[in-house]
Structure 1
Amino acid sequence: MHTKPHTVLTTLIAAATLALSLGSVAHAAALDQFKSFVAGTKSARGEFTQTQARSASGKPAPVSSGSFVFARPGKFIWTYQKPYEQVLQADGETLYIFDKDLNQVTTRKLGNALGSSPAAILFGSNDLEKNFTLAEAGNRDGLEWLSATPKAKDTTFEQIGIGMKDGAPQAMELKDNFGRTTLLKFTSFQRNPALGAQAFQFVVPKGADVVNQ
C-alpha cells in the first residue's frame, strides 16, 4: 500500500526543477552552477520521479512520478500521476492539496511554509542563504553535488543534497530527521517558459470537499 504524500510539504512540498542556460558551465563546481540557476531561472516545467530509499527489510522502494511547473516566488503545481493522482498547487498565498481518490481539497496559508523546506530551493525567493547553509559535496553518479543544510532547528529535513549537471539540477536527495532518504530525479524540463497570468489559479473540482487548515 502506498503512502500518500501529505508529507510533500515535508517531503518536498514538492519540489521540482530546473535551470538556466548561461553558456558553458558544464564543468563548474556545483555551488557556482546552482547560484547561476537560482539567479537566472524565474520559471520552469518538467517531469519527476520520487523514490524512497530501501527499508531495512529490503522491500522494493515505492516510486512516484508526475510533472511540475513553477514560477518564483511561491507559485507552483506539483502533480503526482502515478501510482495515484494528487495535486499540490500554490498561488503565492495559499497551498491547495487535491486528493482525487477522496475528491477532497485541503487548503492552508502558504505564509512561511516554504521557509527552510526543499520547496524553497525550487519555488521560493533567490535569498536561499538566509535559510540554508550551502556547501560543495563532491562528485557522485556523474553529477556535481552541493549540500543545503537548513539553518532553522525545527525543520523536517536535516540536509538536502542537490545534484547539478550542465548548469541544471538533475536530482535532489532529501534526508529527514528520522533517518529516511527521498530521491527526486528531474527530466524533460523547460527553462523560463511563457506562463499565462492564470496558470496557478486553483479551481476546486466539482463536488470536492474543501478542508481549511
Structure 2
Amino acid sequence: MKLNLTLAGLLAATTFALSGTASASALDQFKTFVSGTKAARGEFTQTQLRSRQGAGKAQPASSGSFVFARPGKFIWTYHKPYEQVLQADGETLYVYDKDLNQVTTRKLGNALGSSPAAILFGSNDLEKNFTLAEAGARDGLEWLTATPKAKDTTFEQIGIGLKDGVPQAMELKDSFGQTSVLKFTNFQRNPQLGAQQFKFEVPKGAEVVSQ
C-alpha cells in the first residue's frame, strides 16, 4: 500500500455549524456534533509530519473525499497522489489500490475500537474507548484531545479542532513519532444516502486478498 492506512486503522470526517455552539467548549461542541450527526460527506487533505526523526518536516499532502453513516459505514477515497479507496459496510473493510488492481478485505468487527476512525465513523459511545479532555484554543479553533484507553492501539493521542460546532481538523499522533494532520472542507451534514451507498463492488479483474 502506498498510503498509510491512517483512517482504516483508519481512518476520518464530518460537519456542520450547529446553532448555539459558537461559545461552547470544544468538548461540549464535539458531544453535540456527535449526537446530532448520523451521516456526512465532504473533502479532506492529509499531511504527515515526522515530529521526532524528521524535525517536523511535512511530506507531500494527499487529498480526497469521504462519506460516512454511523456506525461503521464509510467510504474514504484518496484521489491524490494515488488512487485508493477504504470502504466499510458495517461488517467488512475493503481497501482497494487502483494501481495494483487489488482489494484487501478484513472483518470490521471491533477494529474501529480506539482508532481515529471510531471518532468519525463509530458509535456515539466514544468515552468507552477514549479519555476526552479540553486542549485550549489554537489556530482559530477550539481543541480537545482523545486518548485511547486501550494499550494496544497504534495512536497515542488524537487532537480534534472545532469551530462553530464543526470538526475542522484532526491531529493523529502515533507511537512512531509521526503526526498526521487532517483538514476537512465542504461538509454536508446528514445528507440523504442511498440504501446501497456502502455496498462494495469488486472492480473487474481485481485480485481479492483476505486478511
Give the shorter-chain TM-score range. over 0.9
| Aligned amino acid, residue 83 of structure 2 | E
5+ residue gaps, structure 1, are none
Q: Distance in 2 between matches of 1:93 and 1:84?
A: 26
SS at match of 1:101: coil
Q: Distance in 2 between matches of 1:92 and 1:184?
A: 23
1:42 positional shift: 0.1
Question: After the TM superposition, which segments of 4 or more aligned residues of structure 1 sit over 6 Å from their partners?
Answer: none
Q: 1:57 to 1:7 in 2, by over 3 A?
A: same
Percent of aligned positions that are identical: 78
Q: What is the match of residue 50 of structure 1?
A: 46
Q: What is the match of residue 17 of structure 1?
A: 14
Q: Distance in 1 between matches of 2:176 and 2:77?
A: 25
Q: Out of 163, 166, 170, which is 2:164 matched to? A: 166
Matched, 1:69 2:67: yes
Q: Distance in 2 between matches of 1:178 and 1:58?
A: 13
SS at match of 2:28: helix
Q: What is the match of residue 112 of structure 2?
A: 114
SS at match of 1:34: helix
Q: 1:40 to 1:58 in 2, by over 3 A?
A: closer
SS at match of 2:45: strand
Bigger CA drift: 60-69 or 202-211?
A: 60-69
Q: Distance in 2 between matches of 1:202 and 1:96?
A: 8
| Aligned amino acid, residue 188 of structure 2 | Q
| Aligned amino acid, residue 135 of structure 1 | A
1:57 positional shift: 6.0
Q: Could you state the TM-score of these two structures normalised by the residue count of structure 2?
A: 0.95
Deviations 1:109-159 (A, max 9, x none): 000000000000000000000000000000000000000000001100010
Deviations 1:17-59 (A, max 9, x none): 224x431211211000000000000000000000011562675
RMSD: 1.5
SS at match of 1:53: strand
Q: 1:74 to 1:58 in 2, by over 3 A?
A: closer
| Aligned amino acid, residue 59 of structure 2 | A
Q: Distance in 1 between matches of 2:118 and 2:56?
A: 32
Q: What is the match of residue 203 of structure 1?
A: 201
